[in-house]
Amino acid sequence: MIPEAPSVAPGTSPQPLTFSRVVRLASIVFFGVLPVLTVVVLFATTIQDGTEAMDLRQFYAAAEAVLRGDSPYGPTGAPLTAWGGPYPYPPLPALLAIPLTIFSLQAAGLLVMAALVVVALAIPFVLGVRDWRCYGLLLLWPPVISAIQTGNLTLLLGLGAALAWRFRGRRLAVSMSIGVTLAAKLFLWPLVVWLAATRRFTSAVLTCAVGAGLLVLSWAVIGFSGLVDYPDLLRRLEDVVGEDSYTAYIVGLDIGLPSALARVVWLSLGLGLLAVVALVGRRGDERSAFILAIAASLAFTPIVWLHYFALLLVVVAVAQPRLGVVWFVPLAMVVTPGSGHPTPFETSATLVIAMLTVALALRSSVGGFKPVGSDLGPAPTRTSAAAA
């Protein structure tokens, strides 16, 4: 006897597995489940390997030195390595890390990593991104994963840049947003050029004042220890880890250019981007000028590791607040190890991916371009203008 097929409850019918339902389920898996699993695995792996927030070790040690009344920079000429030796940042990050010293280094590292996950998600939110898929996708970006795992300043700098764009019309807010980043790490200084190019001269001057003031104040807290030798410390740091970097200078060396010529090419690229920032900003396209200023920040930096490209999150979110092709491009940076002496192919590929991201962001930005002040309201009609 053949068993009867199970009956369907009255009033209901089985839902067919349509193409739209498959796409929806795939989206939930790729943009929701996979990013959560990636973050969980990241935390589990770092705990197992004891590599929680590797860069935090320098901030943590510097904060402990300040609490002891010692210099965070150690004795002059102390050996310098990628993960140890003298503290290579301005004093402000070390001072801000002091509250973390109440925790063990491992607990502080996990706390910082968790905080950076929140910061990464906060960047697109500040910039008006409301497409939930973008939030999941960014947690799959190799540079964002690297920034979280290493526990460095990159995502915090990105948040500062995002706030600067969000509050670009408010002098104090934009000046504080950029000025604090300058005092923590002189990296986003091309944003000052962007302010000046978009005729925000007062904001540009105030930004420099905030950055310089915080820098002097933070150095005064430690009795200006290490200030005189700080430029030499940066030079030695570049000598030690400069070749473990993603820059046009390294690409020049990889293709056989003399060191001096490779450096000229590298500086020319940065200066060229800065000139375009000034030109585009003066023409009124503040969005494209902002994107190019972030690109110039990356181009001018002599030491660039994978996590630096997490700043592309600001570029993409400013240009395209909904999911689009440009959001997927940084995923291709999976071809690079992040640090550890990348091969010439890995260095070149990473820079090409970064340039492609910026180019696509600029294309989206120009498509939605509105001159400065165009969001203040519609222009008066001829009738209303005549009446006025």
Distance CA 18, CA 14 (A): 12
Q: Taken in order 220, 241, 293, 96, is the CA torsion positive or negative? A: negative
Tokens in use for 16?
């067919």
* Least confident residue range of 124-128, 204-208, 341-345: 341-345
- pLDDT tens readout for residues 361-373: 999 887 554 433 3
Mean of pLDDT over the chain: 87
Find, among 172, 175, 173, the residue nearest to 195 by Cα.
Answer: 175
pLDDT of 298 higher than 60 = yes
Inter-axis angle of helices 286-300 and 344-367, nearest 10: 170
Q: Are 276 and 292 in contact (CB under 8 A)?
A: yes
Q: Which residue carries 């690079």 as its tokens?
A: 336
Those residues whose C-beta lies under 8 Å from the C-beta of residue 141, and which sit 6 or more positions away, are 310, 313, 330, 331, 333
Model confidence at 233, in pLDDT bands (50, 70, 90)? confident
Q: How confident is the model at residue 1 (pLDDT cuts 50, 70, 90)?
A: very low
Look up residue 112 and give its DSSP letter.
Answer: H
SS3 assignment, position 14: coil
18 confidence band (pLDDT: 50, 70, 90) = confident
Q: Is 84 helix (H, G, I), strand (E, B) or coil?
A: strand
Among 20-24, 177-181, 354-358, 361-365, where is mean pLDDT lowest? 20-24
Mean pLDDT in residue range 69-88: 68
pLDDT reported for residue 377: 38
pLDDT at position 16 over 70: no
The one-character DSSP state at 380 is P
> Regarding predicted confidence, which is higher, 364 or 184?
184
Torsion angle in degrees (nearest 10) through CA of 48, 54, 59, 65: 60
Average pLDDT over residues 211-236: 92
3 against 199, higher pLDDT: 199
What's the one-letter identity of residue 107? A
Residue range 87-118, pLDDT digits in tens: 889 999 999 999 999 999 999 999 999 999 99
Domain boundaries along the sequence of the chain: 29-72+86-225+239-372
Q: Is the model's pLDDT at 82 over the cut of 50?
A: no
* Residue 186 pLDDT greater than 60, yes or no: yes
Quick check: helix, strand or coil at residue 81? strand
Q: pLDDT band at residue 42, thresholds of 50, 70 and 90?
A: very high
What's the rounded Cα separation, in Å, for the pair 6 and 15? 15
158 — pLDDT class (breaks 50, 70, 90) = very high
Burial of residue 125, with CB atoms counted within 10 A of its CB: 0-12 exposed, 13-18 middle, 19 or more buried: middle
Report H helices in the chain: 19-28, 34-49, 56-68, 91-96, 105-126, 132-138, 142-150, 154-166, 171-184, 190-197, 201-221, 230-241, 248-254, 259-282, 286-300, 312-319, 325-328, 344-367, 382-387
| Rounded CA separation 144/117 (Å) | 9
Residue 27: exposure state from Cβ atoms within 10 A (0-12, 13-18, ≥19): middle
- Count CB-CB contacts under 10 A for residue 376: 8
Average pLDDT over residues 187-196: 96
% of residues, the chain, pLDDT over 90:
70
Measured CA to CA, the distance from residue 323 to residue 126 in angstroms comes to 16
Integer Rg of the chain from CA = 24
Question: What six digits make up the tokens of 165?
Answer: 């764009």
Question: Taking 90 as the threshold, does the pLDDT of residue 378 lie above it?
Answer: no
Q: 70 in helix, strand or coil? A: coil
Quick one: DSSP state of residue 75? S
- Model confidence pLDDT, tens digit, residues 305-348: 999 999 999 999 999 999 999 999 999 999 887 666 788 899 99
In this structure, what token pair is assigned to residue 197?
Answer: 């190019």
Task: Supply the DSSP symbol for 99.
Answer: G
Task: Give me the pLDDT at residue 234, please.
Answer: 85
Tokens of 346: 């890995």
Exposed/middle/buried for residue 337 (C-beta within 10 Å: 0-12, 13-18, 19+): middle
Global pTM reads 0.87
Instruction: Decide if pLDDT at 241 tops 90.
Output: no
For the chain, how long is the longest CA-to-CA vector?
95
